[in-house]
Structure 1
């Protein structure tokens, strides 16, 4: 389906074209840009509500600034669709998040307007400050540096670290706080309450409308005049606000809050702020999903709704003719409540992903035993450790890619103390269209090298339930369970719990000549491959490891005594992963054999559908068939070890 841009938007290939328009035309540009995003995302999918909420801000920034010389850094990047469309990618936008197309996030290799690659939260201020300091060092005093960060991302510790540092630098930095009370789910915590108190202060809001332009004019008259204005500003703000402004206390000039949907006022404000030296923060109030009524009302659902009818708002679902397996995250959510009903020590923790991880199921059923701690993975882990130190059994569910942000806490606060924190790593493996910033590629490798850590992965929903049940039994210690994005394989998944012996795998079927060792749900691709191979007279054995730490050494001795040809398969990086663990075992025990390791290669994997990426990386069912045939036919491959 060909989507046509509006008449003004068609004229804008780059921001220089936008700046040729007059101020009166900016509102129409915003209308056309918003409609273009709706038209494309409704038929192609992608993140939705976040970009709609910053249309006016995006237009104002590119109109008022000299981009790309002036540098804009987005936080997370969910909101960058309008930015991409205005910076040379309008004609490519229909390929957004599609295999071989443009990325759904800002990406430096894609455009000089994408000044910093993002995808994880709370990084923008640090990056923009680094750019600003570098520009100052190079004598580029006229260069502007802008970090756009949401109030949700502001709950991340890195954002506070960067604000603290920026306050002592004299660099030309503007932080724009996009305040919409949302991340993916509604924001929580004291920062949310603080920002609300600012936005509802009527006397202060009246004063701030006049302050920005006055300071901008005074700053042109020299440092003495600006210094006087600065003292006056602090005095008046202190009188009007009951509490000292947090940002002012960090040496930021605070301006706002301003209406984030008044494009002309935003443009004038940004123009004025360019003349005020030092670190500044502009507080902009927006509505996530602005311009699409359903997205405004239900911002969580419309964060990334998939395909939908833009007229009726009906979210499209694939037709099914039989019951479908549930999503792994939902199996986790329902199972956690079931376990918590039987064990009053169980608590649930998530860092700002209650709906994405299905922790919202427990939060609804047991609000006093489940916690959304904001976008703060490090805190989530150490908070869980504190609970465990007092005899609780915390289930800390974090996406695999985000757990990377709390690695020190996993080691220092949990593993060293042998605390029974259960890490449920959602979105493990290749996740699809979100791409390299969100792939859960590394958790097998980084968890299995941690002392005292149990590292497990289920092959199906029943195994996930049983691993969760096992993990909360007495005296288990640190326990990591990984599972993928998307649906499982079992319709009849809710079965009675069974304890799984720690470090024990299972032989799914015996075979001849070749053994396939799989870890986790990707083992179902091996099962498909074996069916194809059986039809061709090739009968490999299949072992489900279940645990990569501790390994089932008894089972591995059986494998290497019987088979000299082995294929390992994992939905994780092969460097340091399951295949590496098997090779280490083989070497340590003096076995010789040919081993092919299938998994994520040592390179950045771009975005695409999961099955497309499995195939590209060489570990889908078809690839397993090919590798087994190569082994049985004696053809050497680059992955073979002897």
Structure 2
């Protein structure tokens, strides 16, 4: 695409050289550029189409990177990346080794915070502002760009409370488009709507907390946003600049998409906005259908989510049972403790979150649900490696975190048949919390069990071979584990593959199976530290079973973005790699002198 103005803007300094009359044309070029590139790579389109003029105005008023511009959440930073010299890297967006879909400190001095979990920018900004003042740099400004959806998170108001009384000069640019992923909910949304439509005069929620308020202004009018930001910058106190924007602005398919305005997309046809045709159902789709079926038979089942009803598969549930569906906004902590209250009231809440966002509510899971032994089910979408969204979105911590929660039972279905069955078992559990985890992926074919043993499914057993190796598969890694077992059998190694179904706590029968084999290997798409293998090793030690237990899984590291399959392959989670690792470990074990018991793992 030939670009005249955009090709000249290689830095914020070059942006400031443009005449105001040229800016609308620049905004149009940026939108065309975003549609063209994101249609090829996938990414967050709608949020960035909505902040084009706002971001141009910010970089014309403030002096980045000396002035710190912090985006909350970071998925609305594509325009910022374009204006700070990264336009030519967009063909690598979200690919391994390429441009991140979020701010990334190693990419540019203009990126200060690697944030993609919402409602955090105001706290970062509060600390940055205090640091600048303490270091004798009071003339540098801190600007926090936060969407109205992120204001539904409690952490934002903890920060707002401190900003209003802290004597700083943070400028809060409120990008108000009436949405997070889904439409923004709750009292804050109603208050902002009143401000947008002039129904609230004098003091408002922000001024009551001690911040100045400028606005509302049209967030697509660059001159108006510039003027509002300059006015806020002249005040020697924290201020909110309220900008009203439209998510998906300027691209008809996004504007017409009432569900989410093409919030996060895979590759699509830029002419129509439609993804490629075909493909099997996703795990999310299958969960949504199963939950509706279960809820038909169980009137006590209710569902909660944190501003992501459709992404976690609750669309059909919300349509069928609107009074039993609760979207609490970007407030995972509240979602979990509200679910505890619902359970105390005699219902069975199903809390549907991305696995990565469960991290934000671990205390509530531990102390508000598990301590009270409440029947709450957590459904964790995007568990394991998610791929292009990177370190903050990989759902690789849940097994380690939930493994520390007393009374928590965690299941990982290997296929959608098991997903429905395990969800049903979870809903029928009345004496404590349960969790189900599944990946961001297309659902594969069903994998039949040879037989079930005390709740464990035996998926493969070598014929006429000694019991050399027990492969313990977790969830969707059952397929690669079976393929690895077949390869190992060809190398005269006797292998059993077991799917525990309920991974945590460790089933005593799994310990018994371990005692009958010479080597146990867990195959898991979570961190090895504190994962399934670690729990099994501890259970074996407690039972004085000395079979060595090893884990093939993910390291305790922040893994970068890239293709999901490639990242799994990089960490040995393919059939061939599992077979090779098992063969190496088995041969090493065979070569050892059998004079000492296996006392360490």
Which one is further off, 182-191 or 306-315? 306-315
Match of 1:163 in 2: 160
Match of 1:553 in 2: 508
Inter-partner Cα distance in structure 2 for 1:548 and 1:162? 38
Partner deviation per Cα, 1:114-168 (whole Å, 9 max, x = no partner): 1111110100111111101111111211111111111111100001111011000
Displacement of 1:6 after TM fit?
1.2
Match of 1:507 in 2: 458
Matched, 1:466 2:438: no
Matched, 1:486 2:441: yes
Inter-partner Cα distance in structure 2 for 1:457 and 1:492? 14
| CA RMSD of superposed structures (Å) | 2.1
Which one is further off, 51-60 or 513-522? 513-522
Instruction: Report if aligned partners of 1:150, 1:183 keep a CA contact under 8 Å in 2.
Output: yes
Displacement of 1:200 after TM fit?
1.1
Displacement of 1:40 after TM fit?
0.5
Inter-partner Cα distance in structure 1 for 2:116 and 2:555? 21
Match of 2:562 in 1: 608
Inter-partner Cα distance in structure 2 for 1:45 and 1:5? 22
Instruction: Report if aligned partners of 1:26, 1:264 keep a CA contact under 8 Å in 2.
Output: no
Partner deviation per Cα, 1:61-92 (whole Å, 9 max, x = no partner): 11111100000010011111111111121111
Instruction: Report if aligned partners of 2:253, 2:272 keep a CA contact under 8 Å in 1.
Output: no
Residue 276 of structure 2 aligns to a residue whose secondary structure is coil
Aligned with 1:395 (options 332, 335, 350): 350
Displacement of 1:537 after TM fit?
4.7
Match of 2:477 in 1: 522
Instruction: Report if aligned partners of 1:73, 1:148 keep a CA contact under 8 Å in 2.
Output: yes
Inter-partner Cα distance in structure 2 for 1:267 and 1:474? 56
How many residue pairs end up in the alignment?
Answer: 586
Inter-partner Cα distance in structure 1 for 2:96 and 2:115? 19
Displacement of 1:545 after TM fit?
1.7
Match of 1:149 in 2: 146
Matched, 1:475 2:430: yes
Inter-partner Cα distance in structure 2 for 1:62 and 1:301? 25
Displacement of 1:451 after TM fit?
1.0
Instruction: Report if aligned partners of 1:381, 1:406 keep a CA contact under 8 Å in 2.
Output: yes
Which one is further off, 506-515 or 616-625? 506-515
Matched, 1:123 2:78: no
Displacement of 1:609 after TM fit?
1.6
Aligned with 1:262 (options 210, 216, 221): 221
Match of 2:576 in 1: 622
Match of 1:496 in 2: none
Match of 1:55 in 2: 52
Which one is further off, 515-524 or 575-584? 515-524
Match of 2:22 in 1: 25
Displacement of 1:632 after TM fit?
3.7
Match of 2:274 in 1: 314
Displacement of 1:440 after TM fit?
0.8
Inter-partner Cα distance in structure 2 for 1:431 and 1:251? 41
Partner deviation per Cα, 1:164-209 (whole Å, 9 max, x = no partner): 110001111000110101111122212111111111117x7xxxxx
- Give the direction of change, closer, same or farther, for the CA distance of 1:150–1:588 in structure 2 (3 Å limit): same
Inter-partner Cα distance in structure 2 for 1:551 and 1:313? 47
Instruction: Report if aligned partners of 1:5, 1:32 keep a CA contact under 8 Å in 2.
Output: no
Structure 1 length normalisation: TM-score? 0.88
Matched, 1:352 2:310: no
Aligned with 1:183 (options 180, 183, 193): 180
- Give the direction of change, closer, same or farther, for the CA distance of 1:619–1:374 in structure 2 (3 Å limit): same
Match of 2:88 in 1: 91
Residue 396 of structure 1 aligns to a residue whose secondary structure is strand
Which one is further off, 508-517 or 427-436? 508-517
Match of 1:569 in 2: 523
Displacement of 1:431 after TM fit?
0.8
Instruction: Report if aligned partners of 1:306, 1:316 keep a CA contact under 8 Å in 2.
Output: no
Match of 1:413 in 2: 368
Matched, 1:274 2:274: no
Displacement of 1:641 after TM fit?
6.2
In the alignment, structure 2 segments of 5+ residues that lack a partner are: 592-598
Residue 75 of structure 2 aligns to a residue whose secondary structure is coil
Matched, 1:103 2:57: no
Matched, 1:381 2:333: no
Partner deviation per Cα, 1:218-263 (whole Å, 9 max, x = no partner): xxxxxxxxxxxxxxxxxxx43xxxxx41111001101111001111
Aligned with 2:135 (options 133, 138, 143): 138
- Give the direction of change, closer, same or farther, for the CA distance of 1:558–1:534 in structure 2 (3 Å limit): closer
Inter-partner Cα distance in structure 1 for 2:139 and 2:470? 64
Instruction: Report if aligned partners of 2:254, 2:273 keep a CA contact under 8 Å in 1.
Output: no
Inter-partner Cα distance in structure 2 for 1:443 and 1:350? 17
Displacement of 1:636 after TM fit?
10
Inter-partner Cα distance in structure 2 for 1:534 and 1:569? 18
Matched, 1:15 2:12: yes
Inter-partner Cα distance in structure 1 for 2:80 and 2:192? 26
Which one is further off, 188-197 or 285-294? 188-197
Instruction: Report if aligned partners of 2:214, 2:232 keep a CA contact under 8 Å in 1.
Output: no
Q: How does 1:593-604 map to 2 (within 5 A)?
A: 593-604=547-558
